Amino acid sequence: MPSPYEIVLGDELARLHPRLGEYFGEISAGSVGRGAGVFDRVGTPRRWLWPVLALLAREGIAFPVWQEGVPFDVENRPLRDQHGDIAVGARRTFHLQGGTRVMVDAITADNRGEGGAWRLVDHLGPGRRLSASLGASVRDGALTLRSTGVGVRVGRRRLPILPLVAPLVTLTERFDDDAQKQHVSIALSMPVIGRVYEYSGFFTYNVETEHQGK
């Protein structure tokens, strides 16, 4: 079954670097994508934002830190969402000074909005209380995702956050042929305030059977 990225990108998937095509392609049942690398930096130096990030840390979304040279691991697995649609669940482990922290999210493809057009939706945290609709674009073999709307789940309803106060999430994935590594960069910005959180770095990644290397 195609991955959420294959559903949304369609023919655009072929314009990605071949290694990114593998990364965003289908992960078959019984397999897992595993990666490891180092983030150049994680968090924000604006300490007055840390109390807000501490709230997001409870949901495994962001962490109140500003650190450099942070080792990390990632695992991507296929799963099903509440509608039975295919999703990719990611678990990122940050080996921060002072302790290990875990970020989890799940990417789905959704066409239940206006017009029935397919879009990516990132459900954040183990409780999936926050979600971001993402627009995707491919340029020079790299994939960029930008949030087009952010919502919060209250009971069974998803309430949109007004654009005037909604955060903007930008993610870029590219493959560096010289380093033979993948690079990821994520930035979270707020209106008026600007960038409030970020992480970026290189990593290696392979899809293998669930118990391979264990």
Q: Band of the pLDDT at 12, cuts 50, 70, 90?
A: very high
DSSP string, 165-197: T--EEEEEEEEETTTTEEEEEEEEEETTTEEEE
Rounded CA gap, 138 and 141, in Å? Answer: 6
Q: Please report, for the chain, the start and end positions of each structural domain, with discontinuous segments joined by +.
A: 4-205
Q: Band of the pLDDT at 101, cuts 50, 70, 90?
A: very high
Chain segment 103-124, per-residue pLDDT in tens: 999 999 988 765 678 889 999 9
Q: Which pLDDT score is estimated for 212? A: 62
Domain 4-205: which CATH number of 3.30.60.50, 2.40.128.20, 3.40.50.2000, 3.90.180.10: 2.40.128.20
Model pTM score: 0.91
Q: Which pLDDT score is estimated for 148? A: 92
Rounded CA gap, 74 and 119, in Å? Answer: 24
Q: Which amino acid is at 118?
A: W
Task: Tell me what the mean pLDDT of segment 209-214 comes to.
Answer: 67
Q: Band of the pLDDT at 30, cuts 50, 70, 90?
A: confident
Task: Tell me what the mean pLDDT of segment 52-77 comes to.
Answer: 94
Q: What SS3 state is found at 51?
A: helix
Task: Compute CA 103 distance to the chain's CA centroid, rounded to the nearest angstrom.
Answer: 9
| Percentage of residues of the chain with pLDDT beyond 90 | 69
Q: Which pLDDT score is estimated for 206? A: 94
Q: Is 179 exposed, middle or buried (0-12, 13-18, 19+ CB in 10 A)?
A: exposed
Rounded CA gap, 208 and 30, in Å? Answer: 9
Task: Tell me what the mean pLDDT of segment 75-104 comes to.
Answer: 88
Residue 172 has pLDDT above 90, yes or no: yes
DSSP letter assigned to residue 125: S
Q: Is 103 exposed, middle or buried (0-12, 13-18, 19+ CB in 10 A)?
A: buried
Q: Which residue has the higher pLDDT, 129 or 23?
A: 23
